[in-house]
């Protein structure tokens, strides 16, 4: 009974909100509808409506997938201090980190679906149903780790919320093993994603042992940056108690990870341009252009400039203590990593081709609008899940209150029955 009441009350909470809340929901649904309309066109006509080709078969969709897997993995930056180091200030907001991880994985999976020309055949990737080819296929490994990470975060979040809904504290011994597993799993999802690229010997630009640690480092600076932005918005808009110490912890993680990320980029550039091997052709195209083709060059230099400006702000105390500058650094970090790890990694791997041909790629309006639709789905999911979760955490929704309301209703009915004149 309590189980059903939990979902009922959580669902009811979604329909309570101010005008700004409903305006935000309507706006997101409008973006989803626009993206859905474009996706229907892609389904009817095929991937020919995108700018992808046989030469560049992974484009904007997979670039966003790669970035979002890192965002999902970075949610562990809230889990580790909350449960390993018993930080109460961070434990209060770890639910938002779990919600961010869940929605990021959902969006990443959606980007894979829209990238498939025949999404009706995605059942081949389902274990024990399709031709899964596990454990030989790295793609199969990616399916396992992403699905497992999603289920872990959903299970942990549900257990904690359901316990608080019942008015009792969750038993640490019951969920701590799953927390420890989730920490390991968070690292694995981005590591396996990096292996998808680095194991491809036919693409010298990706065939790099440094790719996996570079993925982890970039995830641990962009993920906390997004978390910081979300926590500040939730604190201001929803009035949810977010302590400054939690934001400061994420800031330190973001700063160190950003420094490591830039070091890895410099190390790769040194290898590419000092020795001028086969690996350097794609890097040269990306940073300086190749044979007159240079569509991605402004992207990567803009990304590096953003990351450098962000790390300077974060490292200088007088700059980062100014809220507006600090928030600018967070936004620059997110955009810079998104470009560097997305468009700056996926696309150059195909340029030039193994035959030395150059086929440039930039996303068209169809790809951009479908991607915005998926982003809106993620933001809508996060908004709804976070709203219900925060109401339970703050005690606004709970089983005790629900029972009291029902008892009060029964008492009032009995009193009204007793006042009725008897024949």
How big is the chain by its Cα radius of gyration, in Å? 24
Residues 343, 19 contacting (CB under 8 angstroms): no
**C-alpha to C-alpha distance for 356 and 101, rounded to whole angstroms:** 40
For 19-395, CATH number? 1.20.1630.10
The alpha carbon of 236 is separated from its chain's Cα centroid by a whole number of angstroms, namely 22
Bigger pLDDT: 420 or 337?
Answer: 337
Cβ neighbourhood burial of 246 (10 Å; 0-12, 13-18, 19+): buried
**C-alpha to C-alpha distance for 7 and 13, rounded to whole angstroms:** 10
Q: Which residue has the tokens 């009032």?
A: 412
Q: What is the pLDDT of residues 382-391, one digit of tens each?
A: 999 999 999 8
Lowest mean per-residue pLDDT among 253-257, 391-395, 417-421: 417-421
**C-alpha to C-alpha distance for 32 and 371, rounded to whole angstroms:** 10
What pLDDT does residue 400 have? 60
Bigger pLDDT: 413 or 362?
Answer: 362
- What average pLDDT score do residues 265-294 get? 85
Bigger pLDDT: 7 or 89?
Answer: 7
In sequence order, which residues have a C-beta less than 8 Å from that of residue 365 and are 6 or more positions away? 38
**DSSP codes joined into one string, 214-281:** HHHHHHHHHHHHHHHHHHHHIIIII-----HHHHHHHHHHHHHHHHHHHHHHHHHHHHHHHH--TTHH
**C-alpha to C-alpha distance for 62 and 67, rounded to whole angstroms:** 9
Q: Residue 322 carries which DSSP code?
A: S
- Provide the pLDDT confidence category of residue 241 given band limits of 50, 70 and 90: confident
The helix/strand/coil state of 330 is helix
**C-alpha to C-alpha distance for 106 and 363, rounded to whole angstroms:** 22
- What average pLDDT score do residues 105-113 get? 93
Question: How many C-beta atoms surround the C-beta of residue 239 within 10 A?
Answer: 10
Q: Which residue has the tokens 């998926």?
A: 374
What pLDDT does residue 414 have? 55
- What average pLDDT score do residues 112-123 get? 86
Lowest mean per-residue pLDDT among 66-75, 107-116, 125-134: 125-134
In sequence order, which residues have a C-beta less than 8 Å from that of residue 92 and are 6 or more positions away? 241, 242, 243, 246, 393
Residues 361, 51 contacting (CB under 8 angstroms): yes
Q: What is the pTM of this model?
A: 0.90
Domain boundaries, the chain: 19-395
What pLDDT does residue 416 have? 58
**C-alpha to C-alpha distance for 241 and 235, rounded to whole angstroms:** 6
Task: Work out the mean pLDDT of the chain and round it to a whole number.
Answer: 87
pLDDT at 46 over 60: yes
- Provide the pLDDT confidence category of residue 372 given band limits of 50, 70 and 90: very high
Lowest mean per-residue pLDDT among 115-124, 186-195, 347-356: 115-124
Residues 51, 367 contacting (CB under 8 angstroms): yes
**Which segments of 116-137 does DSSP mark as H helices, in order?**
none
**C-alpha to C-alpha distance for 315 and 252, rounded to whole angstroms:** 9
Q: How big is the CA angle at 176 (ends 172 and 181), to the nearest 5 degrees? A: 170
What pLDDT does residue 368 have? 97
What pLDDT does residue 409 have? 56
| Residue closest to 72 by CA, chosen among 163, 186, 182, 180 | 186
What pLDDT does residue 402 have? 47
- Provide the pLDDT confidence category of residue 118 given band limits of 50, 70 and 90: confident
Q: How big is the CA angle at 225 (ends 223 and 228), to the nearest 5 degrees? A: 110
What pLDDT does residue 398 have? 80
Per-residue b or e along 278-296, where b marks 16 or more CB atoms closer than 10 Å to that residue's CB? ebbbbbbbbbeebeeeeeb
Residues 361, 294 contacting (CB under 8 angstroms): no
Token pair listed for 293: 């083709």
């Amino acid at each position: 009974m309590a189980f059903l009441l939990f979902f009922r009350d959580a669902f009811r909470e979604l329909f309570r909100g101010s005008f700004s809340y409903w305006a935000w929901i309507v706006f997101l649904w409008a973006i989803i509808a626009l993206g859905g309309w474009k996706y229907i066109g892609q389904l009817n006509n095929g991937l020919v409506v995108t700018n992808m080709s046989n030469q560049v078969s992974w484009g904007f969709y997979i670039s966003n997938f790669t970035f979002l897997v890192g965002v999902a993995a970075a949610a562990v930056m809230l889990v580790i201090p909350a449960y390993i180091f018993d930080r109460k200030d961070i434990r209060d907001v770890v639910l938002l980190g779990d919600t961010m991880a869940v929605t990021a994985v959902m969006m990443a999976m959606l980007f894979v679906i829209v990238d498939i020309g025949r999404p009706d055949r995605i059942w081949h990737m389902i274990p024990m149903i399709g031709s899964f080819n596990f454990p030989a296929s790295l793609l199969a490994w990616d399916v396992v780790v992403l699905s497992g990470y999603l289920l872990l975060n959903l299970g942990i979040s549900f257990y904690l919320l359901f316990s608080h809904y019942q008015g009792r504290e969750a038993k640490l011994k019951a969920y701590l093993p799953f927390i420890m597993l989730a920490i390991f799993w968070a690292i694995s999802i981005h590591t396996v994603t990096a292996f998808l690229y680095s194991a491809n010997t036919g693409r010298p630009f990706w065939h790099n042992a440094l790719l996996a640690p570079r993925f982890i480092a970039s995830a641990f600076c962009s993920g906390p940056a997004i978390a910081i932005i979300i926590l500040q918005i939730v604190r201001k808009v929803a009035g949810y108690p977010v302590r400054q110490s939690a934001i400061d912890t994420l800031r330190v993680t973001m700063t160190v990870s950003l420094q490591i990320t830039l070091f890895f980029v410099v190390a790769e550039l040194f290898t590419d341009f000092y020795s001028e091997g086969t690996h350097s052709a794609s890097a040269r195209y990306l940073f300086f252009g190749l044979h007159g083709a240079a569509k991605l060059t402004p992207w990567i230099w803009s990304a590096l400039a953003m990351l450098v400006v962000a790390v300077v702000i974060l490292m200088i105390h007088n700059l980062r203590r100014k809220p507006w500058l600090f928030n600018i650094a967070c936004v620059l970090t997110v955009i810079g990593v998104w470009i560097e790890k997305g468009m700056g990694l996926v696309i150059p791997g195909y340029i030039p081709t193994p035959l030395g041909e150059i086929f440039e790629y930039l996303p068209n309006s169809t790809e951009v609008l479908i991607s915005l639709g998926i982003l809106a789905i993620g933001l809508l999911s996060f908004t709804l899940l976070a709203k219900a979760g925060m109401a339970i955490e703050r005690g606004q929704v709970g089983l005790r209150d629900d029972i009291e309301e029902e008892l009060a209703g029964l008492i009032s009915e009995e009193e009204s029955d007793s006042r009725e004149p008897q024949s």
